[in-house]
Amino acid sequence: MWNPARLTFRSRKVPPVLSCFLAQKAADTVTLIPVRKDGLDAWLETAPAATAAWVRSVGFTAEPGATALLPSADGQLDRVLVGVGETLDLWSFAGLPTTLPAGAKGAGASYALDDSLTPEQATAAATGWALASYRFTRYRKATKDLPRLVLPAGADAAAVDSMARAVYLVRDLINTPAEDMGPADLAATAKELGAEFGAEVSVIVGDDLLAANYPTVHAVGRAADKKPHFIDLTWGDAANPLVCLVGKGVCFDSGGLDIKAAGGMLLMKKDMGGAAHVLGLARLVMAAKLPVRLRVLVPAVENAISGNAFRPMDIITTRKGLTVEIGNTDAEGRLILCDALAEADSAKPALILDFATLTGAARIALGTDLPALFANDDQLADDILAAAKETGDPLWRMPLWQGYAKQLDSKIADLNNAPGGGYGGAITAALYLERFVTKGTPWAHIDLMAWNASAKPGRPEGGEAMGLRAAFAMLSRRYPAQA
C-alpha cells in the first residue's frame, strides 16, 4: 500500500511518495521516544543512571523538536528522545527526517515510533514524516539519503499516501519553472489525473477560447507564445451534489504592459499556485471517492508582453456579459478567474471553492503563512474554518465589505479590474470575483501565498500547499465517503 505506481511529469519519474516508510522494523531500527517537557523528569527517574546522566549532560530539556541521541553499550545509536508539545500533531516529528542520522550511503537508517500513539496520532505523525521527506529533484539529484520510518501501528496508510501525494503534486507543480510548467503542462497534468481516476478532461486552446466565450482568459494569455488554455475536469456520478473547484493558473506573470520590477518577477513561477491546489484537492477527492460530482476549472495563461498584449484602459466583455475596464494589466488573475467562476456558477453547484495567489494586499494583511478566506456564505466559511483549526492548516476569514464595492466602478464599463487608492486590495479583488457568482450560490475564495519563504519542520522552502488539508476535511465532512 505504501509503494504505489509512479507519477510522471513530462516523462520524468517521481519516486513513490511513501518510499520514506518501511513496513516493519529491521534489526537495527532505532526507536523514537516522544517526551514532553513536563514529563522529562519522570522519564529520567525510570531510565538507567548512565542514560539519565547522558541526557542531562547533552542539555536535552525536551523542547519541541529537540532530540537526544542515546547510544547503546557498544556505541551504536540505540534510541532517540524527541521533545514534543502538549499535543502530538502533524508537525511533531516533521523535523526529524532532515535532522536525524541517515545511516551509511546506500543503506539508510530506519526509525520507529514507540507504541504510545493513538491511531489518529500515528496517522498525523506518518503524514508529517512524509511531507518532511519531500525533495524537489527534477533538475538536481538529492545529495544525501533521508532516514525512513516504520509505518506506525494504527496509522491509516491509505490516508497518508493520498495526502502526501496531493501535497507533493502541489509542491512539484509550483516549484517547476515556467519554461517547463506552462498552460499545456498544466493541462497535461490534469489529463494524467483524469486517466488515473477515470475523470473526463477537456481543454480549449488559443483562439478557440473566443469561440467558446472565454474572452478574458484569451485577452490575458494571447500575447504569450504559449497559448492560453481552459482546463475542465469532471468526475463522479452526475446525480451527486456538484462541487466546483476553480484555480488561478497564471504560469508566469510579467505584469503585462504594466510590467513588474525585476524583483517582483522572481517568484512569479508560483502564480499558478491556485491551479496546483485545485488539482491536488481533486486528487484527494477522487482518491477518497467522495460522493460528489466534481468539476475542476483552471484558466491557464502566461501574462506576457508583445504587440498584441491587452492594454490599460481596454474594455473586455466577460463571459457573464459584464464589461471590464482594465485599470492595470498586473491585476490579471481576477480577469481569468471571472470567466471560470461564471462558468462554474452557470451549473448551479452546491458550492464553489477557488484558490488563487491573487493579491499582495492579503500578504501585507496576514503575512505569508496565513491565507485569507472570503466567503458569501457563513455556514461554508464556518465549516472551512473549523476544518482548518482541526487539521492545523490555518486560514483567516476576511470580510466581503460591501462598503468598498463602489471602488470597482468604472465611468465607461460595468467594472474596473484594479481600483485606485491602494487600500483594501484583497477585499476589492474578492468583491470583483463575487460579481460573477449568483447570489445564493455558496462560494469561498482563498487568497494564498503558496510558497514557504523559509523552511520549517515538514515545510521546505519553496512551493507549498496551504488550505488544502482544511478544504479536503471540510468536503469530507459535508460529503462523507460511503463505507
The set of cell numbers assigned to 460 is 521546505
Establish whether 226 is a catalytic residue.
Answer: no
Residue 352's contacts (CB-CB under 8 Å, 6 or more residues apart) are 244, 245, 246, 341, 344, 345, 437, 441, 442, 443, 444
Give the up-direction half-sphere exposure of residue 192: CA atoms within 13 A in the CB hemisphere. Answer: 16
Q: Is 319 a catalytic residue?
A: no
Annotated catalytic residue within 260, 397, 456, 478:
260
The CB-based long-range contact list for 133-139 (8 Å cut-off, 24+ gap) reads 133/20, 133/97, 134/164, 134/167, 134/168, 134/171, 134/460, 135/460, 136/171, 136/172, 136/175, 136/462, 136/463, 138/9, 138/12, 138/172, 138/175, 138/176, 138/180
Residue 227 and residue 459 in contact, taking contact as beta carbons nearer than 8 Å: no
CA separation for the pair 22, 25 (Å, rounded): 7
Residue 27, classified by CB atoms within 10 Å of its CB into exposed (0-12), middle (13-18) or buried (19+), is: exposed
H helix or E strand, kind and range, residue 282: helix 273-288
Extract the C-alpha cell encoding 109: 537508517
Percent helix, strand, coil in the chain, to 5, is 35, 20, 45
Which residue, 249, 277, 92, is CA-closest to 185? 249
d(CA 168, CA 18): 11
Catalytic hit among 334, 435, 459, 469: 334
Single out the residue of 448, 460, 454, 248 nearest to residue 339, CA to CA. Answer: 248
CA angle, 418 as apex, 181 and 349 as ends, to 5°? 65
Q: What does the DSSP 8-state code read for residue 152?
A: P
Amino acid (one-letter) located at 117: L
Is the distance from CB of 246 to CB of 345 less than 8 angstroms?
A: no
What is the distance in angstroms between the CA of the first residue and the CA of the last residue of the chain? Answer: 19
Residue 246 CB contacts under 8 Å (≥ 6 apart), including other chains: 274, 278, 296, 297, 298, 337, 340, 341, 344, 352, 353, 354, 355
User: Measuring CA to CA, which residue among 332, 341, 301, 354 is closest to residue 467?
Assistant: 354
What CA dihedral angle connects 345, 348, 353 and 355, to 10 degrees? -20
CB 267 within 8 A of CB 231: no
**Listed residue (220, 198, 221, 245) closest to 443, CA to CA:** 245
Known catalytic residues are 260, 334
